[in-house]
Chains A and B, each alone.
Chain A
Amino acid sequence: MGYSVGGLSFYLEGKKSSVKYSIEVMFELSWNPDIQGDIPFFVYDLKSHETDQLETILPKWLIPDIHSQVPSKDVYLYYGDGHGFPDDVASVAVDDFSIFCCYYCALARELNYILLRKEPQEVPLSVSSVIVPVLSELFAQQSKQLFHAASIYCPQQRVGMMIVADSGGGKTTTALSVLRKGAKMICDDLTVVSDQANGRFELSGLPELMNLTDETIDHFPELKKHRQAQIRNPYSDKYPISAQAVYGKDSMIKICGLDIIYFVSVTGKTPSVSPLGPSEAFGKLLKAKTFAKKQFPSKEKTAQLFSLLSSVQIYRLQTGDNPDVTGQWIIDNCKGHLSKNQ
């Protein structure tokens, strides 16, 4: 088991804990630094009387931001740029009971996740929602882009596609509808897009389990036996399910080229596509790569987005109301979408 995607590889450091376990499972992290991973990932699960430890773990520039953050469900991103640490980045969420922080220290080249529980209760926020914004910035430092998107490869057609939608907007359902018709899944939620030297773009993904709603599972009979109440995520009302456990080891691949971006909406009776202009697509992609408040695009990051928009075919996809039909329709038509939009 190891986590290495888009040039980043981590290993978990220190004593095992329940929070660490969820991170380990979520990102397929290894505990063994000798085998893989070059960035240690420290996890701290602090109690209220250990508040002063924050100042020993986190940099001075970040502490005032944490203490001034108003409790809410929002995750905020803070940059060390301007404090003399141009590549440091941290994401912070604060609620009435806990402080959640993920901090990347570029000098030490280490990642830290700090949970400070002011009240002794369950973690009321998804662990990944705090870690992912920092990961997206680390990818950006390597000229890679992380999107809230699914990605799929159709081997017979040799077409790689990224499927973008808002949360709950049909992204995973659409990806699964194509997967069960013979396509391969790269990932269902967090896609890394890398710029290749030949002007093409490559898709890879963060190795999260699929997080499926009851509604998505109800569309696909084969998923129903994997729906186990005891592993339901109480904060998202979703079930973590492995695509490989359901569709077999060969159902997933690590990398493919990117040819088409579909912006999905679950509307219409039958599937259809219409070309999407670059300016509208830009807004949607910018949203799909923004994971926290105050996560601002830089000129460099925006240049990558502009290049992506110039290089791939972009469509609005109305899925229709039957996922079984949608998947086959995408398989049958994606090849034609490679040139139709030019």
Chain B
Amino acid sequence: MNSYHTETDTFQSVDEVTWRDIKGELVVLELASGEYYSFNEIGRLSWISLTQGKSVKVIIDEIVNEYDVTHDQAKEDLDGFITGLLENNLIVRLK
């Protein structure tokens, strides 16, 4: 699958979003709409790492190390996750 995110890309959550990791579950709230999101385990890890400014490559490695998935699968999953976050205006690309 062709990714339009490069592995050196980094992101941050937008100002209009607030989030908290509570008892192992992630809750992300979009303030302007009141819409909220919750992610699965890999989504949770990916969100926390993205908002810490880690690059796509580093997060892929984290997913491969933490879960029983191949590099290609992790890359594809993360790519889809990031695309969804960008489309919903929850994050912006830093570089």
Q: Which residues of B contact A303 (CB under 8 A)?
A: 18, 20
In the complex, whether A306 has a CB less than 8 A from a CB of chain B is yes
Contact A278 B22 (CB under 8 A): yes
In the complex, whether A196 has a CB less than 8 A from a CB of chain B is no
Q: Which residues of A contact B25 (CB under 8 A)?
A: 277-279
Given the known A-B contacts A286-B34, A296-B31, A296-B32, are A302 and B18 also in contact in the complex, defined by CB atoms under 8 Å? Answer: yes
Interface 0/1 of B3-31, CB less than 8 Å to A: 00000000000000010101101110101
How near does chain A come to B87, taking the closest CB pair, in angstroms? 20
How near does chain B come to A104, taking the closest CB pair, in angstroms? 21
A304 to B10, CA, bound (A): 29
Given the known A-B contacts A282-B36, A283-B36, are A306 and B31 also in contact in the complex, defined by CB atoms under 8 Å? Answer: no
How near does chain B come to A262, taking the closest CB pair, in angstroms? 17
In the complex, whether A14 has a CB less than 8 A from a CB of chain B is no
Q: Which residues of A contact B89 (CB under 8 A)?
A: none
How near does chain B come to A148, taking the closest CB pair, in angstroms? 15
Q: Which residues of B contact A299 (CB under 8 A)?
A: 18, 31
A312 to B31, CA, bound (A): 24
How near does chain B come to A288, taking the closest CB pair, in angstroms? 13
Given the known A-B contacts A278-B27, A297-B31, are A310 and B36 also in contact in the complex, defined by CB atoms under 8 Å? Answer: no
- Give residues of chain B (25-82) contacting chain A, Cβ–Cβ below 8 Å: 25-27, 29, 31-32, 34, 36, 38
A-B Cβ contacts below 8 A, count: 46
Contact A306 B36 (CB under 8 A): no
A299 to B38, CA, bound (A): 17
- Give residues of chain A (310-326) contacting chain B, Cβ–Cβ below 8 Å: 310
In the complex, whether A66 has a CB less than 8 A from a CB of chain B is no
How near does chain B come to A339, taking the closest CB pair, in angstroms? 14
Given the known A-B contacts A297-B29, A299-B18, are A278 and B36 also in contact in the complex, defined by CB atoms under 8 Å? Answer: no
Given the known A-B contacts A306-B22, A310-B22, are A279 and B31 also in contact in the complex, defined by CB atoms under 8 Å? Answer: no
Q: Which residues of A contact B38 (CB under 8 A)?
A: 279-280
Interface 0/1 of A165-180, CB less than 8 Å to B: 0000000000000000
Q: Which residues of A contact B23 (CB under 8 A)?
A: 277-278, 309-310
Q: Which residues of A contact B18 (CB under 8 A)?
A: 299, 302-303
Contact B20 A306 (CB under 8 A): yes
Given the known A-B contacts A279-B38, A282-B36, A286-B36, are A298 and B27 also in contact in the complex, defined by CB atoms under 8 Å? Answer: no
Interface 0/1 of A262-305, CB less than 8 Å to B: 00000000000000011110110010001000001111001100
How near does chain A come to B13, taking the closest CB pair, in angstroms? 12
Q: Which residues of A contact B29 (CB under 8 A)?
A: 282, 286, 297, 302
Q: What residue of chain B has the Cβ atom nearest to residue A314's Cβ?
A: B23
Q: Which residues of A contact B31 (CB under 8 A)?
A: 296-299, 302
A306 to B32, CA, bound (A): 17
Q: Which residues of A contact B32 (CB under 8 A)?
A: 296
How near does chain B come to A259, taking the closest CB pair, in angstroms? 16
Q: Which residues of B contact A297 (CB under 8 A)?
A: 29, 31, 34
Q: Knowing that A279-B38, A296-B31 are A-B contacts, what are 18 other residue pairs whose CB atoms are under 8 Å apart, sorted by A's residue number? A: A277-B23, A278-B22, A278-B25, A279-B26, A279-B36, A280-B38, A282-B22, A282-B27, A290-B34, A297-B29, A298-B31, A302-B18, A302-B31, A303-B18, A306-B27, A309-B20, A309-B22, A309-B23
9 tightest A-B CB contacts, nearest first: A279-B38, A278-B22, A306-B20, A278-B25, A299-B18, A282-B27, A279-B25, A279-B27, A302-B18
B-binding residues in A (CB < 8 A): 277-280, 282-283, 286, 290, 296-299, 302-303, 306, 309-310
Q: Can you give 14 contacting A-B residue pairs, CB < 8 Å?
A: A277-B25, A279-B26, A279-B38, A283-B36, A286-B34, A296-B31, A296-B32, A297-B29, A297-B31, A299-B18, A299-B31, A302-B18, A302-B31, A306-B22
